[in-house]
Amino acid sequence: MYPSTVRLLNILVPIKRCVDYAVKIRVNPQQTGIDLNVKHSMNPFDEIAVEEAVRIRERMKEKVSSIKVVTIGPPKSAETLRTALAMGADSAIHVELPESAPSPEPLGVAKALQAVIAREKEKGGVDLVIMGKQAIDDDAGQTGQILAGLLDWPQATFASKVDVDEANGVVNVAGEIDGGSQVLKCKLPLVVTTDLRLNEPRYASLPNIMKAKKKPIEKLSPADLRVDLTPRLETLKITEPPKRVGGGKARCVSNVDELIAKLKDAGLVTS
Amino acid sequence: MLRLCLLRPRAILFRAYATSPSPHALLFIEHQGGEVESASLSALTAAGQLGGKVTGLVVGGPGEVEGVVEKARKLKGLSKVLHSTSKLYTPPLPETVSPLLQSLLSQGSPYTHVVSSHSATAKSLIPRVAGKLDIQPVSDVTSVQHDASDNSTTYTRLIYAGNAVATVKAPADMPLKFFTVRATAFTAASPQNEGGEAEVEAIDPITPESSPTTHVSTSLAKSDRPDLGVASRVVSGGRALKNAETFKATLDPLADVLGAAVGASRAAVDAGYADNSLQVGQTGKVVAPELYVALGISGAIQHLAGMKDSKLIVAVNKDADAPIFQVADVGLVGDLFEVVPELVEKLKK
């Protein structure tokens, strides 16, 4: 007899509430951070991760037994969880931090996620973690890889195509690399990080937004997970980047000859 | 197994407290087609700025490594080159290379820093290794400064798509400091003129008994043009290029006449006009060439993040209000389908 291949897939999608990608951010005068009284939304890469989890279920139907989203952040991050629930996740975990708490670093986040995954063991475990390749605020791009390292799981970064072969316990992932792409075959359990190319996230419909209000959000504290989220790196200051000299309308030329003259002035074209 | 991983970092922490070593960086050297990657040369410059020794590490498959080591040992600033060969190191997957790095960094390791370029390979590998050693890495740094008196290292890096600069300090009690380097922010190290070749040492590969990940295939977008990341000139196109055919037909002649690499905005990549590997921006390549020509690119925050450190920015766009004109040194409001052919014609003369 072959061992039973019927295994149900549990997907965990970590998401982050970030300043909306379209907002032009402003550094505060104290140079301690940026003005956060602006529109926030789900990190765009995480939307792609949620979308992918939902699409995997649409393809694999009941073989996906759960899609759980998790966020680590201040109380307002609950809105972000609701958005993910409205997109099709089943339930959520909110590791709530005080409003004033410093933003945790990728290492702390990865440890918290590791603890969440350990807690999930009794509830069927986690087989697949899908998360964004980077958050558009700190632009670190580390959490998925650190998490895979901590768990000793394989990792498939910058994914542009995810193909779950659940019967064989493997996932084929096409990922973006410098100068092209590569395909990896990874054993489950696995951590995948999403590239922009993976999919086009859906908008949550009004009925789904209403339904999402009834979906469960479990609240936890870092203490429940026994993780220390204190930053290891000391942020000395946040400053404005140097302004570009020039730029602006004044630098406009009216025809191609003038453009070429400018290139000549800069020594970029000869003759 | 997990417990073992958790115990090991603590041992490192303890040891490093006892001594305050002078900086000694381990540089992960990447290579392609037998040549050291240019971004690794920039990372070497950054590693040298710590003010101590730099040891390079070359990993790769049989037949790849020897040639690269020969070139690496002549690099200015490298005191030693370690190399390790395994067929599992082609390509260097994080799952197979991290055990080697962990072992190099664990047992009585002389290293204080682990450095690499911020390439796709290193972005996957470095955080994994750092995490296993319980260290918070610093990614994509644009400057680095080591304070030998208290063994702290201060970096700058860009956050919020390049719209803010964070100055962060890896404190003295962080026993090992990991960082990846934004190649465009550091000049590339050059080969030594004469003598003083680095010592070379082979180390046995350490690979997992069975890797959970198998490499199936790699496809690289072939191009005779200079590599986008290091090109001194870049011609980039956006959504206004309409389709893949006009993208190529419009940009290629200009790139040829300028000897430039071709880049693209996300809109152009999403619409399928250009390969993803050509994307310039927050989530694509960061470039800082002498000349950046933006054609039919509006200049969204995410695109500017990848090119605003270019020396001279030229923008051609029909829309006089496009944000790209705020950063352009030379702007021309006009139809790129008229401007570009005229420009090519006149540049050819």
Q: Looking at the structure, do residues B44 and B184 belong to the same domain, yes or no?
A: yes
Pairwise CA distance, residues B190 & B98, whole Å? 28
Do B332 and A253 lie within an 8 Å CB cutoff? Answer: yes
First to last CA, chain A: 80
Query: What is the reported pLDDT for B23?
Result: 95
Query: What is the reported pLDDT for B52?
Result: 95
Query: What is the reported pLDDT for B227?
Result: 86
Query: What is the reported pLDDT for B171?
Result: 97
Do A263 and B308 lie within an 8 Å CB cutoff? Answer: no
Do B130 and A255 lie within an 8 Å CB cutoff? Answer: no
B75 Cβ contact partners less than 8 Å away, ≥ 6 residues apart: B36, B41, B44, B56, B189, B190, B191, B192, B198
Query: What is the reported pLDDT for B229?
Result: 85
Pairwise CA distance, residues B34 & A16, whole Å? 40
Residue B115 belongs to domain spanning: 24-202
Q: Looking at the structure, do residues B296 and B178 belong to the same domain, yes or no?
A: no
Choose the closest CB to B124 out of A157, A160, A263.
A157
Pairwise CA distance, residues B244 & B262, whole Å? 13
**B281 annotated ligand binder:** yes
Answer whether residue B186 is part of any domain. Answer: yes
User: Closest Cα to residue A32, out of A102, A134, A137?
Assistant: A102
Q: Looking at the structure, do residues B194 and B241 belong to the same domain, yes or no?
A: no
Phi, psi of A123 (to 5 degrees): -95, 25
Do A182 and B270 lie within an 8 Å CB cutoff? Answer: no
B178 contact residues in A (CB cutoff 8 A): none
Query: What is the reported pLDDT for A247?
Result: 61
* Mean of the per-residue pLDDT values of chain B: 91
pLDDT digits 0-9 by tens, B162-219: 999 999 999 999 999 999 999 999 999 998 877 668 999 999 999 888 889 999 999 9
- Residue-by-residue pLDDT tens, chain A, 271 positions: 444 444 689 999 999 999 999 999 999 999 999 999 999 999 999 999 999 999 999 999 899 999 999 999 999 999 999 999 999 999 999 999 999 999 999 999 999 999 999 999 988 999 999 999 999 999 999 999 999 999 999 999 999 999 999 889 999 999 999 888 999 999 999 999 999 999 999 999 999 999 999 999 999 999 999 999 999 999 999 999 988 766 655 678 989 999 999 999 888 887 5
**Residue B258 is which amino acid?**
L
Query: What is the reported pLDDT for A4?
Result: 47
Q: Are B161 and A136 in contact (CB under 8 A)?
A: yes
Do A248 and B120 lie within an 8 Å CB cutoff? Answer: no
> Residue B92: how many CA atoms within 13 Å on its side-chain side?
29
**B300 annotated ligand binder:** yes
**Residue B109 is which amino acid?**
S
Q: Looking at the structure, do residues B174 and B307 belong to the same domain, yes or no?
A: no
Q: Looking at the structure, do residues B250 and B186 belong to the same domain, yes or no?
A: no
Do A145 and B123 lie within an 8 Å CB cutoff? Answer: yes
Q: What is the rounded (10 degree) CA torsion for B93, B306, B144, A231?
A: -70
Q: Looking at the structure, do residues B198 and B300 belong to the same domain, yes or no?
A: no
Q: What is the rounded (10 degree) CA torsion for B335, B336, B342, B347?
A: 140
Pairwise CA distance, residues B18 & B31, whole Å? 36
Answer whether residue B107 is part of any domain. Answer: yes
Pairwise CA distance, residues B157 & A171, whole Å? 34
Domain residue ranges of chain A, discontinuous segments joined by +: 9-225
Pairwise CA distance, residues A13 & A129, whole Å? 6
Tokens of B71: 């070139």
Answer whether residue B16 is part of any domain. Answer: no
Q: What is the pTM of this model?
A: 0.91
Closest alpha carbon within chain A to B300 = A22
Q: What is the mean pLDDT of residues B335-348?
A: 95
* pLDDT band (50, 70, 90) for residue B335: very high
Supply the DSSP symbol for B139. E
Q: Looking at the structure, do residues B325 and B237 belong to the same domain, yes or no?
A: yes
Q: Looking at the structure, do residues B198 and B256 belong to the same domain, yes or no?
A: no
Distance of CA B104 to the CA centre of its chain: 22
In angstroms, what separates the C-alpha of B66 from chain A's closest C-alpha? 23
Q: Looking at the structure, do residues B159 and B244 belong to the same domain, yes or no?
A: no
Answer whether residue B4 is part of any domain. Answer: no
Q: Looking at the structure, do residues B197 and B247 belong to the same domain, yes or no?
A: no
CATH no. of A9-225: 3.40.50.620
Query: What is the reported pLDDT for A179?
Result: 85
Choose the closest CB to A252 out of B169, B227, B331.
B331
Strand spans (E) along chain B: 24-29, 31-32, 35-36, 53-60, 80-85, 113-117, 138-147, 152-159, 164-170, 177-181, 199-202, 213-220, 233-237, 261-264, 291-295, 312-317, 330-333
Do A246 and B329 lie within an 8 Å CB cutoff? Answer: yes
Answer whether residue B213 is part of any domain. Answer: no
Q: Looking at the structure, do residues B168 and B238 belong to the same domain, yes or no?
A: no
Answer whether residue B207 is part of any domain. Answer: no
> Which residues face B219 on adjacent strands?
A181
In angstroms, what separates the C-alpha of B70 from chain A's closest C-alpha? 24
Closest alpha carbon within chain B to A246 = B329
Pairwise CA distance, residues B151 & B336, whole Å? 53
More reliable by pLDDT, B192 or B251: B251
Q: Looking at the structure, do residues B241 and B184 belong to the same domain, yes or no?
A: no
Of B148, B182, B202, which residue constitutes the final position of a domain?
B202
Q: How many domains does chain B have?
A: 2
Answer whether residue B123 is part of any domain. Answer: yes
Query: What is the reported pLDDT for B130?
Result: 98
Burial of A48 (0-12, 13-18, 19+ CB in 10 A): buried
More reliable by pLDDT, A91 or B276: A91
Burial of A29 (0-12, 13-18, 19+ CB in 10 A): exposed
Choose the closest CB to B140 out of A106, A139, A195.
A139
Instruction: For residue B252, give the CATH number of its domain.
Output: 3.40.50.1220
More reliable by pLDDT, B193 or B158: B158
Pairwise CA distance, residues B85 & B60, whole Å? 5
pLDDT digits 0-9 by tens, B12-21: 444 444 455 6
pLDDT digits 0-9 by tens, B44-65: 999 999 999 999 999 999 999 9
First to last CA, chain B: 68
Answer whether residue B37 is part of any domain. Answer: yes
* pLDDT band (50, 70, 90) for residue B1: very low
> Which residues face B316 on adjacent strands?
B295, B332
